Amino acid sequence: MSNYLLKKCLSLVATVFGVSVLVFCMVHMIPGDPASAMLGQFATEEAAQEIREKLGLNQPLLHQYLQFVTHAVQGNFGTSYFTGLSVWEEIVNRFPITMQMALLSLVISTVGGVLLGVVAAVKKGTVYDFVSMLISLIGISAPPFWIAIFLIWFFAYKLSLFPISGYNGLASLWLPAITLGLISASSVARMTRSSMLEVLNQDYIRTARAKGVRPSGMIFDHALKNAFIPVLTIIGLQFGNLLAGAVIVEAVFALPGLGTFMIESIVKRDIPTVQGLVLFMTVLFVLVNFITDLLYGLFDPRIKYE
């Protein structure tokens, strides 16, 4: 077990380092530079040069990279070129919003998806199965921004059940979370259904049924537990998708989360912010996958950590 953990940790560290290099390279390859962004259309070359000097953009790339990495390891992501505020502070301020929304989506997606999938599996072949699967198929096939706009228009504007946009505490996160959750629930539902079906068809279940054991008890004890492993994989993957989907949703709902922050920073070429943000988000993502891997043990002691 500890051998496996050690290997996993090492690969985690290696991945994060690799990401840092990738991020740094990409950010510096984007055409245009912060000086142009700051000065805008009516700038002069001299003014631009002055800014570049001040920000240290003329130093050799390797030097800049090493600075970035050594500071990052200490938790210092530098300050934004534009606002002068600490990047770490900005991330910490906006992170809870994105996180809350992502977690809420995850809950909606898991609960909704599993329920839908279980119903469809248990009632295979009936109209419930058909409708559930149709809904989830549409959920994974429709353009996300469509779903978002439709939900806003209907639930926030027409029915006034939720605020249209902006962040005002948890209440304003429900609609964005539902948007993301619906799309994600579709994948979860499909996976749950096929996974449950596989388990339900297995011999030992059929034997138990033949012996007259009550179906509902079986479903929630044996079948679900065994079916849950692949479902867990999907849920882990969904988290990454949710973080990514957050970018679109935050834009539509005007939420000051990490997604909109990322887009703005890229547009402004706010290099420290982009680097810090992307590094932060990918580390988060990698950690979540790591935890998901560990959670496998909870659901199936048969899995040995070779």
Partner 1 sequence: MSKKWINRLSIPLLASTLLVAGCTTTEKAATTVEKKAIEGGTLVMASNQEPDTLDIQQVFSGDEPRYQAYEPLFHLDHNGKVVPGLAQEYSVSEDGKVWTIVLKEGPKYHSGAPVDAESVAKSLNRFRDNKSGLYAMLFGSFEKAEAVDKKTVKAYFTEPFAPFLASITSYWISPVDPVVVDREGENFKNKPSGAGPFKFVEQQRGSSVTYEKNPDYAWGPEYSKNKNAPHIDKLTFRFIKDPQTRVLEFKKGTIQILRDVQPAFVKELESVPGVTLNKYTNAALNYIGLNTKKPQLSDVRVRQAISMTVDREEIIKGAMEGYAEPAYSPFAPKVPYWSEKVEQEARKMYKKDIEKSKQLLADAGWKDTNGNGIVDKDGKELTTELYIIQEQIWERSAQIVQSQLKQIGIDVKIKPADLTTVVKQTQEGVHDMVLFSYGWNDPDILYIILGKGTKQIGIEDAKLEELFHKGKTTVQPEARAKIYEELQRLISEQAGMVPLNVPQVIDAYHDIDGYMKNPYMFNTIFSDIQLKK
Partner 2 sequence: MNVQPNNSNLATVQHDGVAVLQPHQPKSLASEIFFRLMQSRGAVAGLLIILLSVLMAVLAPVLSPYPIDQMNLDQRLQGPSAAHWFGTDEFGRDLLSRVLHGTRISLLMGIVSVLVAGVIGVLLGIVSGYYRRLDLAIMLVTDILFAFPSLLLAIAIVAVLGVGIGNATLAVAIAVIPYYVRQVRASVLAIKEKEFIEAVRALGMSDAKILFSHILPNIWAPIIVLSTLQFGGSILAAAGLSFLGLGAQPPIPELGTMSYVGITFMSQAWWLSVVPGVVILLIVLGFNLLGDGLRDALDPKQ
Q: According to the binding rule CB under 8 A, does residue 156 interact with partner 1?
A: yes
Q: Which of 25, 131, 170, 287 binds partner 1 (CB under 8 A)?
A: 131
248 interface partner picked from partner 1, partner 2, none, CB below 5 to 8 A per type: partner 2
Cα separation of 28 and 24, whole Å? 6
**Residue 173, both tokens:** 């996160």
For residue 253, give the nearest of 43, 107, 100 by alpha carbon.
100
Tell me the closest approach of the beta carbon of residue 123 to partner 1, in angstroms: 8
Within 275-304, which residues bind partner 2 (CB under 8 A)?
Answer: 278, 281-282, 285-286, 289
Q: How far is the CB of 160 from partner 1 (least distance, A)?
A: 5
Query: 256 contacts which partner out of partner 2, partner 1, none, CB within 5 to 8 A by kind?
Result: partner 1
Residue 95 or 216 having the CB closest to partner 2: 95
194-223 binders of partner 2 (CB under 8 A): 198, 201
Tell me which amino acid residue 29 is: M
**In this complex, which beta carbon is closest to partner 2, that of residue 138 or of residue 303?**
138
Task: Give the interface segment with partner 1, choosing from 69-77, 84-92, 233-241, 284-292 (CB under 8 A).
Answer: 84-92
Q: CB-hemisphere CA count at 13 Å for 303? A: 13
Contacts by 80-89, CB closer than 8 A, 24 or more apart: 80/265, 80/270, 80/272, 80/273, 81/34, 81/38, 81/55, 81/268, 81/269, 81/270, 81/271, 81/272, 81/273, 82/34, 82/37, 82/38, 82/268, 82/270, 87/272, 87/273, 87/276, 87/277, 88/276
Count residues near partner 1 (CB under 8 A): 55
- What are the tokens at 248? 């679109």
Report the interface residues with partner 1, using CB under 8 A. 30-33, 36-45, 47-48, 50, 82-85, 90, 93-94, 119, 128, 131, 149, 152-154, 156-160, 163-167, 216, 251-257, 260-261, 264, 267-269
